[in-house]
Amino acid sequence: MGFGTTGKILRVDLTYGSIREETFNETIYRCYPGGKALAGYLMLRELPQHTDPLSPGNILILATGLLTGAPLATTTRFTATARSPLTGAYGESEAGGFWGPELKMAGYEAIIMTGRAPSPVYLSINNGRIQLKDAHHLWGQDPDKVQTKIREELGDTKISVLQIGIAGENLVKYASLTHNMRHYNGRNGMGAVMGSKNLKAVAVHSSNNRYSDIAHDARALAELGKRLSKQYKDHPQSWALHEKGTMPLVGGLNSAGMLPTNNFNSGVFDGVDNIRWEAFDKEILVGRQSCYACSIRCKPEVQVDGRYKVSQKYGGPEYEAVAGFGSNCGVDDLQAVAKANELCNRYVMDTISTSATIAFAMDCFEHGIINLEETGGLELRFGNANAMLQAIEWIARRKGFGDLLAEGTLRTAQTIGGGAVDLAIQVKGQELSMHDPRGKANVGLGFAVSEIGADHLVSMHDTLFQNDKSIAFQGAKALGIRNAFPATVLNDEKVEQYFLCENWVSLEKVLGFCYFGPAPRSFIQVDEVIEAVQAATGWNIDLEELLLIGERATNLARVFNTREGFTRADDTLPKRLFTPLDAGPLKGVTFQYKEFNDALTTLYKIKGWNPATGIPTYQRLESLGLGWTVRESGMQENG
Ligand code: SF4
């Protein structure tokens, strides 16, 4: 009987090839129980200030959540954390799938990678045997070959292989990680960090252990798991996810006037019928896959044998990739969109940042800021699918104009000049996900304030809380959400809703829950999350303590950014979002600078951060048990 953790972390020094275990006591885990919190704790404790993200000095942390691998639907996630080469800020990227549960079963809460291997290696953790192995022959190879080869070498067809692709080897600033060729730590360039360490892959498998070995009350956890495995069928949003994945968002957001189109120039896409769910289902969808222990099975598999050839082996695009390479690049060819997604998965690059960077380049081309000479002959006009696909190849290989695009929108814009920065749809250097904040005000607040740069999974989306009769709204009441508002409203109560939901979503990343598991978005109710933590740990823990853990994790990342020089001035939105939408139901709607700045001030006050600087106050950090971070980070005690 345990408290839901193995207690152990693994330290791998790639420079010297040394590997050792370390055990943390229960007191540490009660404050930083896993995932985002544990990684944040380690980042502040161990990473020196101003470390170059692609130097051997950066650390790469792979950390499971407290409940990762528990016999509960959607407890699948692990985080990859390092200083981000894309933003220079706190870098973090979660993935579901199977690798996190495998690491937990192998007996570790986290792996901390330091240094740089003298030549390419991979790490194998296989039924208790841990080794660094030569990876010369795997460098430059596609993920399917790498996975097959590693499985052959280790004689284990089930081992879960987390790896970088050639984008990571080439230090593309938004290179990602993939495992089992279906699951991605997409954001913030964690693949480039791993590539800079000459680390090709981390393969993990353990056939001997189960989560029940470390759970406080394995029987209670199993009973809860049985209940939850059916519960999603009674929840409309979870059932819709099971039936159609995230693809219905394409048509839904277009009808609402907020489908990112032509680099966020519009919220309505003329070619939407060719890329919406109905076309996707009819033309390219061939199957579905799932993550560990999850009956929702929301992940699509596609195949194309037409204008383009797309293999099922890399899974298939979800909403973000379809909107990113579809409407936001002005492309209404679903086969081309599927091909673009396949290329990103093959080269292991973030589909959001890749598509957004190409959309930005198209905007620059359309404005005459760049021309054919500068692009090396690529006619980067909105709707040019072949140019889009060529650009992906060039980015991954850092060839020609692709070498510049591989730096992301902000650096590319700063290099190009000529007003390009105004067309870069990014925050802190990270490209926006495919959600237009002019239609969802709190999503905009999240894009601005997020420590990792713009991302759509830092709080809940306003659209869930427009109707107080909806099941999502009912599920949110336990968190303190009291009143429904239109999604475009940004008043003080909406800001408070943002704060409550941000702490909850942060907690999900600590526990290892998929965003599509717990309420208000989905079917696992707030009291069932508490029940799960109590059964796993034996702790007498309540919602208040859990929300504080979520808030603590966010503050760890915030302190990290403060240490690196980020301030309120970095919590902003791209200029374009302060111009009105041009068509559809939201025609004329925009963010107002004053309203946005007032909301930011209100949020800082709620969070206990200095409203002028955005820096957490010493008093707030003390109350979160983070007084030590002030001394570690060199922040002033008066905030
Ligand atoms: S809801 Fe989808 S993404 Fe989340 S754990 Fe289940 S299958 Fe994976």
Q: What is the pLDDT of residue 208?
A: 76
Q: Which residues contact 420 (CB under 8 A, 6 or more apart)?
A: 360, 364, 369, 370, 412, 413, 414
Ligand 1, atom nearest to 292 Cα: 5
User: Would the CB of 74 count as within 6 Å of ligand 1?
Assistant: yes
User: Would the CB of 291 count as within 6 Å of ligand 1?
Assistant: yes
Query: Do residue 384 and residue 501 come from a single domain?
Result: no
**Joined tokens for residue 568:** 């309120």
Ligand 1, atom nearest to 76 Cα: 5
CA distance 282 to 620: 53
Query: Do residue 340 and residue 450 come from a single domain?
Result: no
Q: What is the pLDDT of residue 272?
A: 98
Query: Do residue 382 and residue 448 come from a single domain?
Result: no
Query: Do residue 545 and residue 473 come from a single domain?
Result: yes
Best residue for ligand 1 mutational test, from 179, 184, 239, 297 (most atoms within 8 Å of Cβ): 297
The overall average pLDDT reported for the chain is 96
Q: Say how many Å lie between the CA of residue 67 and the centre of ligand 1.
A: 15
Query: Do residue 259 and residue 307 come from a single domain?
Result: yes
Count of domains observed in the chain: 3
Out of 395, 411, 431, a domain closes at: 431
We report the CATH number of the domain holding residue 562 as 1.10.599.10
pLDDT tens for each residue of 535-569: 999 999 999 999 999 999 999 999 999 999 999 99
Q: Is 196 contained in some domain?
A: yes
pLDDT tens for each residue of 199-231: 999 999 988 778 989 999 999 999 999 999 889
CA distance 527 to 247: 30
Strands 8-13 and 110-114: parallel
Q: In percent, how much of the chain has pLDDT > 70? A: 99
Out of 375, 403, 431, a domain closes at: 431
Q: Is 229 contained in some domain?
A: no
We report the CATH number of the domain holding residue 325 as 1.10.569.10
We report the CATH number of the domain holding residue 207 as 3.60.9.10
Q: What is the pLDDT of residue 637?
A: 58
Q: In percent, how much of the chain has pLDDT > 90? A: 96
Cα torsion 146, 389, 332, 448: sign: positive
Q: Is 236 contained in some domain?
A: no
Q: Say how many Å lie between the CA of residue 295 and the centre of ligand 1.
A: 8
Query: Do residue 481 and residue 371 come from a single domain?
Result: no
Q: What does DSSP assign to residue 56?
A: T
Work out the pLDDT band at 50, boundaries 50, 70, 90: very high
Mean pLDDT of 91-120: 97
Q: Is 535 contained in some domain?
A: yes
**Joined tokens for residue 334:** 């679903």
User: Would the CB of 228 count as within 6 Å of ligand 1?
Assistant: no
Ligand 1, atom nearest to 298 Cα: 2
CA distance 182 to 316: 8
pLDDT tens for each residue of 5-30: 999 999 999 999 999 999 999 999 99
CA distance 279 to 283: 6
Query: Do residue 356 and residue 416 come from a single domain?
Result: yes
Ligand 1, atom 8, residue with closest C-alpha:
291
pLDDT tens for each residue of 523-533: 999 999 999 99
pLDDT at 253 over 60: yes
Query: Do residue 329 and residue 263 come from a single domain?
Result: yes
CA distance 452 to 436: 18
Ligand 1, atom nearest to 297 Cα: 7
User: Would the CB of 297 count as within 6 Å of ligand 1?
Assistant: yes
Paired strand residues for 79: 63, 94
In the 3-class helix/strand/coil scheme, how is 92-152 assigned residue by residue?
A: EEEECCCHHHHHHHCCCCEEEEECCCCCCEEEEEECCEEEEEECHHHCCCCHHHHHHHHHH
- CA 51-200-433 angle, 5° bins: 65
Strands 304-305 and 177-179: unpaired
Domain that holds residue 320: 246-431
Q: What is the pLDDT of residue 66?
A: 98
| Whether the Cβ atoms of residue 550 and residue 66 lie closer than 8 Å to each other | no
Query: Do residue 471 and residue 503 come from a single domain?
Result: yes
Q: Is 230 contained in some domain?
A: no
Q: Is 234 contained in some domain?
A: no
Query: Do residue 72 and residue 180 come from a single domain?
Result: yes
Q: What is the pLDDT of residue 638?
A: 53
User: Would the CB of 299 count as within 6 Å of ligand 1?
Assistant: yes
Ligand 1, atom nearest to 290 Cα: 7
Query: Do residue 401 and residue 461 come from a single domain?
Result: no
Q: What is the pLDDT of residue 639?
A: 54
Out of 189, 213, 237, a domain closes at: 213
Q: Say how many Å lie between the CA of residue 6 and the centre of ligand 1.
A: 24
Q: Is 474 contained in some domain?
A: yes
Query: Do residue 406 and residue 462 come from a single domain?
Result: no
User: Would the CB of 96 count as within 6 Å of ligand 1?
Assistant: yes
Ligand 1, atom 2, residue with closest C-alpha:
298
User: Would the CB of 602 count as within 6 Å of ligand 1?
Assistant: no
Q: What is the pLDDT of residue 354?
A: 98
Q: What is the pLDDT of residue 2?
A: 84
pLDDT at 121 over 60: yes
pLDDT tens for each residue of 430-460: 999 999 999 999 999 999 999 999 999 999 9
Helices 543-563, 526-537: crossing angle, 10 deg rounding: 90
Q: Say how many Å lie between the CA of residue 523 and the centre of ligand 1.
A: 12
pTM above 0.85, yes or no: yes
